[in-house]
Chain A
Amino acid sequence: MKHTTQAKPASHAVTLPYVNDSGYYEIRLESIGGLGANLCGKLLGELGVGYLGLNASAFSSYGSEKRGSPVKSYVRFSRPKQDILHNSPVEHPHLLVLFHQALSSSQPVTAGVREDCVLVINTSLTPEKMRDELRLHAGTVCCVDALKLALQSKSRVNMVMLGAIAKASGFIPLDAVKDLVTATLGKKYPDMLAYNIAGLELGYQNLTVQFFSSDKRYETLPYHEAQSKWGYQNAPLGGANTHFGSTVSNDLYPSREGFIPLYLPEKCIHCGLCDSTCPDMVFQFAPGEYRGKPGMLNQGLDYHHCKACLRCVDVCPTEALVAGKEHEHPEKQWFVRNMDLIVDKLDFEPAGADSEVTSESYLDELRVDGGLI
């Protein structure tokens, strides 16, 4: 992102409604790479320093901003004169933002949430339903259908979310966010700017809010750092990994963005092109007979590993593979478990692409330079 300078006094100075015992108002953004949560976190920090007259820090879980991988972003606000001393992840957020509903089942996203937490969730569900999905013990749940509103405003999910965050926070003026977005996009993209502003406004206006007290319906979910089962006493020396092929236990559905390839076996000529273009080894071929000749036949797909890139749909010469909306196919006909497996049962772990992109500057620039944040 380009440097933004705010030498002038804060244009929308605010007072933080409440802070923790270290003096911070803390925000955690939980997302999937590609939705722009990182950028959203940075914008919130910049908003604090440049427009709200606060001190702020913003950083990310330094994993990946690749499409489909879980991403965490953190923002800390404090009074303008107070130093921010902590560099560790936000454990007990005042504001928790979930950019993607699928996160609710795949990650312990609500870890550390207390009753005073406001949750902003991108979902078409009601707060009540969402609470059940999340098994949330308490908190104020604010639901916004950001995907729909982004399409409606020709904006992006994170713009709608930014508007919703402003509203849910109770202290961030919408005008301040508008000023920030205007300054970030500058005069370079006036048409795009209008869409982004519309996205902000829709997010701000379309929040469904419900408070849930600590009624014991669900347990609190404590915050703790992840640990592996292999430690210093039992891990093979030197980091050697003897569990060959173990990524097979990853379920990649969080990487999908609403679509899946559908298989229509009656149209299939078993040419194998799908298998030659699939990066994720989804297709299951086995010996059989096709039109009276022995050969390898396509048995179906193991959707556990499908990231829905839809390469297979593009190369299929007979339209035996077509794109469909995943929610319209809960059954996933032609689901075939990976045929090389020799275990009866497999405990899958939801996972996203996990590549370590450690600089998002290029992608952020593409987003900003594209006129959409």
Chain B
Amino acid sequence: MEQAKQKVLFESGNELAAYAAKQINYHIMGYYPITPSTQIAEYLDRMKADGEHSIDLIPAEGEHSAAGICYGASAGGGRVFNATSANGLLYALEELPVQSGTRLPMVLNLACRTVSGPLSIKGDHSDVMYTLNTGWIILFANSPQEVYDLNICAIKIAEQLRLPVIVAFDGFFTSHQKRKCFVFAEDKSVRDFIGPKSCDYSVLDPEHPVTIGSYMNEPDLINNKYQLHMAMTQARTSIPKVFAEYRELSGRTLETVTSYRADDAEILLFILGSSYLTAKAAVDKLRKEGKKVGVFSLGVLRPFPSEQIAEICRNANKVLVADRQDSYGAGGGNMTLEIRAALQQKGLTTRVLCRIYGLGGRDFYEKDALDLFETCYEQEVPDFDYIGIYPGEKDFTTKPYFEPVTTANSLQGLTSCKEIDGKITVTGGTVRDTTARPKRLAPGHGACPGCGIPVNVNLLLRGIEGNVVLLFQTGCGMVVTTGYPKTAFKVSYVHNLFQNGAATLAGLSKMYRKMQERKELPPGDITFIMVSGDGGLDIGMGSALGTALRGDPVIILEYDNGGYMNTGYQLSYSTPMGAKSATSHLGPEQWGKTFFHKDMPRIMAATGMPYVATAAESDPNDFIKKAAKAQYYAKNHGTAYIKCLSACPLNWGDKPNTERRVISAAVNSCFFPLYEIEQGITTLSFDPEKSGQKIPVADWLKMMGRTRHLCEDNYFEIMENIQKEVDRRWSRLKAQAAHPEL
């Protein structure tokens, strides 16, 4: 084979994963944004907008669904791509053995990141090690260049073996670092290399019906698994073959096991990912001092190349495995355990030390590598240890800055509700008087200047009397308030996984009542409030609906800023149609988000929950009163839900000081009408038509950089559609308000 023409780029691992995917021109990518892998979908979307590929990019409402989209698409026989990280991977995990067990090839990029909890967004290998038992081929890239190269090989390997393939690489260190790299100048070189897609059967071929996903017990299932094992065995020869072909085409070498100055090394370090490169620099330094050290790493984790590893370690006195994750209680990370097993299999008695390092994204410096080698020269060292830990400052104590906010100082009668004939009226709750409410949130949090989240949370809390426990779903709101070792919460607070807040709070509120019932807690009241972004109520829709359907006594506050702002503004289902975002670019081939914003209050109302309301900071008195009502309903009738529009100056592309006016325009345009649904009865809180304040949606959309383009002539049709939909929803709402039966 002749070497294909190449060109130089300066790109990150994520950009190169996307570039490879573009060149392959997959049929479908199902995805859900999660740091640090999100950029892959973003770059693909950018290229799609510019007409550089024709992959369908499908934003799911969670990783479980993204994996489902990929599964379905691959059952159709085309080429399928996905990218994820950490808890996204774990949320999708149960789909992985299904994909491999039913032998549907696809490629999943994994920008490795710490698995929660506590939540960390930084890089380590705790996620990828969960995939070792899933039956996927696992490739590991230690540089952006390898991310590109392995992605091109991955699809070929996947289709040869009829197995799905993971291309893993270090989150941030590799995913976000820009490097000089080579790519094929022509997409055709890539497409010729991987060849045409062939499959044994396709669900989309009516002439040859096929059942995918048989119901299989004994005696058959074990044979299916043996077939998978056989494929892994076959992979041991076919992967190196693909790598060799790729070398001919690209001039670049890919290896299952890669090593540096290992041949005569007495001390060997094993380390995965980007740290391998740093360790090479340390090896050079120690070699200059005459120390016989070397380092090795893996390009392929599954199938595990035991034989080559044993071969490399044959002459070493000691091997130190630096694991960027721990298999807690096993005496090593997974690589330690597997390398020990590989050596034992070959009858080697080489001592294998394990050091856990770099968890939660702790940097790996050259000095760390030098220290690891030094460890091996010491006489008395434990087999297992962590590096980079510290005991903390002795005698460090914290003094409370505030009095706790309890019934003692917050049961003030600033708001009160009365229920007469099923109708609830609120007294009090004015903006002025409720300045007396102690703040449950401390200042000094890290939200952007002008952010709407603390504004909305504080407005809600002004209406709430007495004890409060808060739960934030993952998003800007939790990230800016609880960055360790500080917290902005003055009342108790819980965070669980992104999508599971409502269920968590349901459990907590039930425990409160149960412990009171058993006299383990004194009588009294705590109001349980979940705060979530609109993204959290995409992925967490099921959990929220379940809670509402059961009628658990909690309040759900949704701050809707119309996007996944915490991860760099990818589209959510609440993003306005036509808005540009990191996953809905404008370009010759694309015009922003293609579907209408989600009507979450209507979805919640369908559960029959007692209280659904929308609120806006532009009418703060109304907001506070609705909060008081929500507290009343949660205490006496069931789950309450309030949705508020929440400003995001950074990603809306407007000025922080103007946000209240922007929110007001959304209300006046009826894009975000203010209303309540109490026990099924709809009431308009404000009718912009009646008060003569109704404005076209365009007047709101033009206030924000993300939607301003929609006011240009060439987007006329889209704008007209948005206006029609807003009018349609507004008319329906008016009808509902007019007819108690609706």
Any B CB within 8 A of the CB of A28 = no
Q: How far is the CA of A60 from the CA of B178 in the complex (A)?
A: 10
Any B CB within 8 A of the CB of A151 = no
B402 touches A245 (CB 8 A): yes
A247 touches B487 (CB 8 A): yes
Q: How far is the CA of A69 from the CA of B390 in the complex (A)?
A: 27
Determine which of A49, A59, A225, A282 lies in contact with B8 in the assembled complex, contact meaning CB atoms within 8 Å.
A49
Select the stretch in B33-41, B98-106, B320-328, B509-517 that faces chain A: B33-41
B443 touches A87 (CB 8 A): no
Q: How far is the CA of A353 from the CA of B449 in the complex (A)?
A: 8
B8 touches A5 (CB 8 A): yes
With A88-B278, A315-B660 known to touch, is A62 a contact of B449 (CB < 8 Å)?
A: no
Any A CB within 8 A of the CB of B3 = no
A362 touches B569 (CB 8 A): yes
A246 touches B657 (CB 8 A): no
A359 touches B450 (CB 8 A): no
With A4-B10, A5-B9 known to touch, is A338 a contact of B443 (CB < 8 Å)?
A: yes
**Of residues 42 to 77 in A, which have CB atoms within 8 Å of B's CB atoms?**
42, 45-46, 49-50, 55-60, 62, 66-69
Select the stretch in A113-121, A228-236, A325-333 that faces chain B: A228-236
Any A CB within 8 A of the CB of B484 = yes
Any A CB within 8 A of the CB of B661 = yes
Any B CB within 8 A of the CB of A220 = no
Q: Which residues on B sit within 8 Å (CB–CB) of A88?
A: 278, 363-366
Q: Which residues on B sit within 8 Å (CB–CB) of A6?
A: 7-8
A89 touches B366 (CB 8 A): no
Question: DSSP majority for the B interface?
Answer: loop
Q: How far is the CA of A56 from the CA of B656 in the complex (A)?
A: 37
Any B CB within 8 A of the CB of A335 = no
Any A CB within 8 A of the CB of B625 = no
Determine which of A5, A302, A365 lies in contact with B443 in the assembled complex, contact meaning CB atoms within 8 Å.
A302
Determine which of A309, A313, A353 lies in contact with B446 in the assembled complex, contact meaning CB atoms within 8 Å.
A353
Query: B452 CB to closest chain A CB, in angstroms?
Result: 7
Q: Which residues on A sit within 8 Å (CB–CB) of B660?
A: 277, 311, 314-315
B401 touches A245 (CB 8 A): yes
Any B CB within 8 A of the CB of A264 = no
**Of residues 246 to 297 in A, which have CB atoms within 8 Å of B's CB atoms?**
246-252, 255-256, 270-273, 275-283, 285, 287, 295-296
A245 touches B650 (CB 8 A): no
Q: Which residues on A sit within 8 Å (CB–CB) of B278?
A: 85-88
With A3-B9, A247-B481 known to touch, is A359 a contact of B35 (CB < 8 Å)?
A: yes
**Of residues 443 to 487 in B, which have CB atoms within 8 Å of A's CB atoms?**
443-455, 458-459, 476, 479-487
B455 touches A279 (CB 8 A): yes
A273 touches B620 (CB 8 A): yes
Q: How far is the CA of A58 from the CA of B10 in the complex (A)?
A: 9
A272 touches B485 (CB 8 A): no
B486 touches A243 (CB 8 A): yes
Q: How far is the CA of A340 from the CA of B443 in the complex (A)?
A: 11
Q: Which residues on B sit within 8 Å (CB–CB) of A342?
A: 400-403
Question: DSSP majority for the A interface?
Answer: loop
A314 touches B661 (CB 8 A): yes
Query: B456 CB to closest chain A CB, in angstroms?
Result: 9
Find the B residue at minimum CB distance from A340.
B402
Determine which of B15, B170, B180, B443 lies in contact with A56 in the assembled complex, contact meaning CB atoms within 8 Å.
B180
Q: Which residues on A sit within 8 Å (CB–CB) of B705?
A: 366
Q: Which residues on B sit within 8 Å (CB–CB) of A308?
A: 449
Q: Which residues on B sit within 8 Å (CB–CB) of A296?
A: 432-433, 435-436
Determine which of B459, B476, B657, B658 lies in contact with A355 in the assembled complex, contact meaning CB atoms within 8 Å.
B476
Find the A residue at minimum CB distance from B8.
A6
B363 touches A89 (CB 8 A): yes
A244 touches B451 (CB 8 A): no
Query: B521 CB to closest chain A CB, in angstroms?
Result: 19
Q: Which residues on B sit within 8 Å (CB–CB) of A311?
A: 450, 455, 656-657, 659-660
Any A CB within 8 A of the CB of B582 = yes
Question: Beta-carbon contacts of B352-394 to A below 8 Å, as 1s and 0s?
Answer: 0000000001111110000000000000000000000111111
Q: Which residues on B sit within 8 Å (CB–CB) of A67?
A: 448-449, 649-650
A2 touches B487 (CB 8 A): no
Q: Which residues on A sit within 8 Å (CB–CB) of B361?
A: 62
Q: How far is the CA of A308 from the CA of B657 in the complex (A)?
A: 9
B177 touches A59 (CB 8 A): yes
Any A CB within 8 A of the CB of B698 = no
Any B CB within 8 A of the CB of A360 = yes
Any B CB within 8 A of the CB of A134 = no
Q: How far is the CA of A120 from the CA of B361 in the complex (A)?
A: 29
Q: How far is the CA of A67 from the CA of B480 in the complex (A)?
A: 13
A86 touches B277 (CB 8 A): yes
A275 touches B435 (CB 8 A): yes
Select the stretch in B87-95, B116-124, B630-638 that faces chain A: B116-124
With A3-B11, A295-B432, A342-B401 known to touch, is A304 a contact of B444 (CB < 8 Å)?
A: yes
Determine which of A229, A242, A270, A314 lies in contact with B396 in the assembled complex, contact meaning CB atoms within 8 Å.
A229
Determine which of A270, A279, A314, A363 lies in contact with B453 in the assembled complex, contact meaning CB atoms within 8 Å.
A279
Q: Which residues on B sit within 8 Å (CB–CB) of A279?
A: 447, 449-455
**Of residues 200 to 216 in B, which have CB atoms within 8 Å of A's CB atoms?**
none
Q: Which residues on B sit within 8 Å (CB–CB) of A247?
A: 442-446, 481, 486-488
Any A CB within 8 A of the CB of B172 = yes
Of residues B278, B620, B649, B650, which shows the largest number of chain A Cβ atoms within 10 Å of its Cβ?
B650
B281 touches A86 (CB 8 A): yes
B393 touches A229 (CB 8 A): yes
Query: A38 CB to closest chain B CB, in angstroms?
Result: 10
Query: A61 CB to closest chain B CB, in angstroms?
Result: 10
Q: How far is the CA of A359 from the CA of B14 in the complex (A)?
A: 11
A50 touches B10 (CB 8 A): yes
Give 9 nearest A-B pairs by CB, closest first: A231-B392, A359-B568, A354-B446, A309-B450, A245-B442, A247-B444, A250-B444, A305-B443, A239-B118
Interface residues of A (CB under 8 A from B): 2-7, 22, 42, 45-46, 49-50, 55-60, 62, 66-69, 83-89, 91, 225, 227-235, 238-239, 241-252, 255-256, 270-273, 275-283, 285, 287, 295-296, 302, 304-305, 307-311, 313-315, 338, 340-343, 346, 351-363, 365-366
